[in-house]
Amino acid sequence: MTQAVLYGVTNRYALAISSLKPAPGLDRIGVFFSMVEGSEDQELVFSFSKAGLIQAFLDNEEYPVEIMSYATDFNKRNKGLVDESVLQKVVVTIIGLGSGGSSIVLDLIRCGVTHLTLIEFDTVSLSNLCRSVYTLADVGRKKTEAILDKALSINPCVRLTLIDEDVLEMDIEKLEEIIGQSDLIIEATDSPQTKILINGRACHSTPVIYPAVYEEGKGGDIFFSFPGFPCYECVFHSVIKHMLENTDLEWDYTTGQAKPMPALIADIQVVCARTVKLALAILTGDQENSFLSKVIKPGCTLLLIGNEKGVSVFPEAFGEAWVETHIDPECSCQTLE
């Protein structure tokens, strides 16, 4: 009889992984999902007794199930690299689930983060497919809901808080509560107004990472703020001014947002990958085996990324450099508490 391996049971999903090799009794191989309480999906049916006994049936014939601990097996290949017990306790808030944010969410989940708050008001369109985690089946769905399904199919134990709102229109007390409950915020929108809002509300209390992809994906940068360190405005006041005054941007008048610029997923992913590593470094920064000091450079909170030759300070393609940053004594963060 073929053996199935059951991974993780929550009140929403049971997830079984069959033998990855074709086996007698199974005409499909791979991953099988089933809702709890004996409902049916594909060939496998699960039943759950009050004593916690789990049985699986294939065409009414009992199917041996080996129960494995999701908590220990899921992170097996991250073992020793990042403190999973810390990542299971922290809350990360991601603002914006576009090409950057959607990918960052799923990568953080794969790395072991289990509690996330996701803020996004947009729906998935066909134009998102070429450079994000969304698929054809997601078109027309809320981005928050599409991400929830993907997150649960990676780790059924994740806890996501979905906020289907434009952060710029959110009640300020609600936003402050979200910031107060977050151990880290990733501001992944391309809206200067959102960056200013989040910076103003979070710079004295909560670490924030601001990943950015430049025009046509030729490069990007990642800035992070930490209480007591330069804030976003300290470093980017002239850029913010330029972005707010910039009339070159094409605007989508149905959403009131700047239209996304073309950029390849290959270039966006470089910025996403660095953002995820930086996020993990910050979240586990006070742990004994933290790699924070191996990732950042003292005095620097801005990473420049060049995907092509001649971008930023880089004479050659694929360059990266940390930049020293300083608190601006004239900045509002120094006068407003």
What residue ranges bind Zn ion (CB under 5 A)? 231, 233-234, 331, 333
**CB nearer Zn ion, residue 304 or residue 333:** 333
Compute the least distance from the CB of residue 327 to Zn ion, in Å.
Answer: 6
Compute the least distance from the CB of residue 179 to Zn ion, in Å.
Answer: 16
Compute the least distance from the CB of residue 188 to Zn ion, in Å.
Answer: 21
Compute the least distance from the CB of residue 328 to Zn ion, in Å.
Answer: 6
**CB nearer Zn ion, residue 175 or residue 231:** 231
**CB nearer Zn ion, residue 227 or residue 256:** 227
**CB nearer Zn ion, residue 44 or residue 331:** 331
Residue 307 burial class via C-beta count within 10 angstroms: exposed 0-12, middle 13-18, buried 19 and up: buried
**CB nearer Zn ion, residue 116 or residue 333:** 333
Buried b (16+ CB within 10 A) or exposed e, 142-163: bbbebbbebbbeebbbbebebb
Compute the least distance from the CB of residue 51 to Zn ion, in Å.
Answer: 58
Angle between helices 192-202 and 172-181 (to 10 degrees): 60
**CB nearer Zn ion, residue 84 or residue 233:** 233
The Cα–Cα gap between 288 and 13 comes to 35
Give the CA count within 13 Å in the CB-facing half-sphere of 212. 21
Compute the least distance from the CB of residue 313 to Zn ion, in Å.
Answer: 23
The Cα–Cα gap between 153 and 133 comes to 13
